[in-house]
Amino acid sequence: MSYRADRAGRAGRADRVDDGPVTTAPTAFTVPTVPTTCPCQSGMPYQDCCRPFHLGEGTAPTAERLMRSRYCGFALQDEAYLLKTWHPSTRPLSVALDRGMRWHQLQILGRTGGGLLDRSGTVEFLAAYRRAGVAGEHHENSRFVRERGCWLYVGLA
């Protein structure tokens, strides 16, 4: 059911209109639950690790912390955070997140620069996932820059 405004434009129940049964579209995916241990595998609770970055309550102090928080963003399907931490010169309009992919392991293989006083750095990592019961890995050496005090993902190194 919906309601129309009266002739003066006032909101309210001036006329009642029967629009038929209310239906909801089926959801194509389920949002992952908020984890207790951070998916970035720092060993810290999510609320004390990547969650503040995801909520905009702080920024990652190093390139590796940004990379870990972005991995966590992929694991939790947080497209807004991934786009926010992507450098504007290489940022896509959207991130094609695969709702069936479950990220479950992150291994840091190496890093160059990316420290508290650096302006750029790289982080090489291996991320393991499962999709439709099939195991897979994503290996990448990512490039990061720091602008106005914030680390941003640029792309492949």
Q: Are 139 and 129 in contact (CB under 8 A)?
A: no
The DSSP output letter for 77 is T
Q: Where are the domains of the chain?
A: 41-93+100-156
Lookup result for tokens 């909101």: 11
Instruction: List pLDDT tens digits, range 15-44.
Output: 333 434 433 344 444 445 677 999 999 999
Fold of the domain built from segment(s) 41-93+100-156? Nuclear Transport Factor 2; Chain: A, (3.10.450)
Task: Give residue 122's identity as a one-letter amino acid code.
Answer: T
Strands 101-113 vs 120-131: parallel, antiparallel or unpaired: antiparallel
Which run of H or of E encompasses 39? none
Instruction: List pLDDT tens digits, range 73-131.
Output: 999 999 999 999 999 999 999 999 999 999 999 999 999 999 999 999 999 999 999 99
pLDDT at residue 30, rounded to an integer: 44
